[in-house]
Amino acid sequence: MIVLGIETSCDETAAAVVDSERCIRSNIVLSQLEEHRPYGGVVPEIAARAHVERIDGLIRQAMVAADLGFADLDGVAATAGPGLIGGVMVGLVTGKAIAAAIQKPLLAVNHLEGHALTARLTDDLAFPYLLLLVSGGHCQLLVIEGLGRYRRLGTTVDDAVGEAFDKVGKMLGLDYPGGPAIQRAAEQGNAKAIKLPRPMLGREGCDFSFSGLKTAVRRLLDKAPDLPAADVAASFQAAVGDVMVDRAANAIQMARRIHPGLAHLVIAGGVAANSHLRQRLDGLCRERGLDLVAPPPELCTDNGAMIAWAGVERLAAGLHDPLDAPARARWPLDPDAKSMPFAGRKA
C-alpha cells in the first residue's frame, strides 16, 4: 500500500509518500520559521496563510520525488487535528479534494497518532510501549497498546514544554525557536549556577507543569537582568530534565502495572531532538531496564511521513474516514481523557 500524507497542524507545511514496507519514498517539509521569528512564536493567521500558499506545490514535489502519479496511491492521509484550526483545515480540505478526485480512501489522522506510531515506521516496534510526546503544543505520557488503543497517563496542566523553551529563549534574547537556541547556549553555561523550581517533582502521577518554571525565570531576569544567558539556559534545561525524568519514572511504574513486560520508552515530538533530555531519559531507561527509542530528529518534528504511516496502518486495518470528517482544534488520543488545549507555540 502507498499513502500520501499531508501535515499542516502548526507551522510546518509537509507532504510525504510512504508505503507499507516502511519505505519513505518522499518527505518534504517547508518550515515557517522566518515568517514567525519576528514575533517569537507562531501567529495562527500567518501560519494558515502560508499553508494555503505552499500546500499544492509541496504535494506536487512529494509526488515527483516519489516518482508516482496520484493514480498509484492507495489512500490519502491528512492531519485532522489537534492543532491550530486554520492550518488543520487547509491540509484536511486539500486531502479530501485529492481523495475525492482519485476516488481513493481518506484517512483523517490524529496528529498525536502520527507521533505515537512513528517508532513503528522507523524501528518496527511492537506494541505495547510507553510514549513521551514533547513538543511546542503537546506534553504527554501515553501507553501505546495498539492501533487506536492509547492510554494517557499524564499531560501538562498548563504550558507544553516546547512553548516554555520558546518563551524562556525569548526572555534571554536568543534566536527563535527557543529549544535549539537554549541547548546551544546551555553548552557554554553552568547548570548549577542558578536555583530554579522543579514543578511537580516528587508528586504522584505523571502530569507536567511548566508555567511556574517559566515565571520563575521571568522574575529572576527582572531582578538580575545581567545574569549570563548561558547559565540561565543551562539551569532551565537542567530543571526541565529533572522534571522529565521524574514524571517518566512514575509513568514507567504505572505502565508496568498494566503491561509487566513493557520494554521500550519512545520519545517523540520536536523537543525530543534535545540531546540533554535524550541523555537524561536514556539514563533513566538503563536504570529501569528499558530501551530508549528516539526516531531521527527529522521524524520527531512535524512531518508528512508520520501522517502517511498512520494512514498506512489505519488502511491496513480496514479503516477510512468519510469526506465530511471534521477538523478539530482539540482531539485527545485517549477517548476517556480530558481534552487539553493545543498550545501551538503561539507568540
Residues 175 and 286 in one domain: yes
pLDDT of residue 161: 94
> Nearest CA to 133 among 153, 158, 104, 106?
153
Residues 182 and 267 in one domain: yes
List the Cα angle 163/197/281 in 5-degree steps.
Answer: 65
The yes-or-no verdict on residue 292 having pLDDT over 50 is yes
What residue type is 280 in one-letter code? R
Residues 157 and 276 in one domain: yes
Evaluate whether residue 345 is within a structural domain: no
Grid cell listed for 210: 511548566
Evaluate whether residue 193 is within a structural domain: yes
E strand or H helix at 248 = helix 229-258
pLDDT of residue 37: 86
Evaluate whether residue 323 is within a structural domain: no
Please give the Cα distance from 18 to 108 (Å, whole number).
16
Grid cell listed for 139: 506534553
Evaluate whether residue 321 is within a structural domain: no
Domain housing 186: 127-294
Residues 154 and 101 in one domain: no
Residues 140 and 106 in one domain: no
Residues 283 and 143 in one domain: yes
Residues 159 and 265 in one domain: yes
pLDDT of residue 342: 45
Length of the chain: 347
The pLDDT-based confidence of 323 (bands split at 50, 70, 90) is very high
> Nearest CA to 95 among 298, 304, 302, 301?
304
What residue type is 58 in one-letter code? L
The yes-or-no verdict on residue 236 having pLDDT over 70 is yes
The tens digit of pLDDT for each residue in 202-228 reads 999 999 999 999 999 999 999 999 999
Residues 17 and 161 in one domain: no
Rounded to 5 degrees, what are φ and ψ at 42? -80, 130
Evaluate whether residue 322 is within a structural domain: no
pLDDT of residue 336: 74
Evaluate whether residue 338 is within a structural domain: no
Evaluate whether residue 340 is within a structural domain: no
The pLDDT-based confidence of 242 (bands split at 50, 70, 90) is very high
Residues 141 and 66 in one domain: no
Please give the Cα distance from 65 to 51 (Å, whole number).
20
What residue type is 235 in one-letter code? S
Secondary structure letter of residue 327 according to DSSP: P
Side by side, which strands form the sheet with 2-7? 24-31, 12-19, 2-7, 75-81, 106-110
Evaluate whether residue 334 is within a structural domain: no
The tens digit of pLDDT for each residue in 4-26 reads 999 999 999 999 999 999 999 99
E strand or H helix at 186 = helix 178-186
Residues 286 and 141 in one domain: yes
Residues 154 and 170 in one domain: yes
pLDDT of residue 101: 98
Q: How many domains does the chain have?
A: 2
The tens digit of pLDDT for each residue in 83-128 reads 999 999 999 999 999 999 999 999 999 999 999 999 999 999 999 9
Residues 135 and 233 in one domain: yes
Could you tell me the CATH number of the domain that includes residue 73?
3.30.420.40
Please give the Cα distance from 276 to 107 (Å, whole number).
36
State the pTM of this model: 0.93
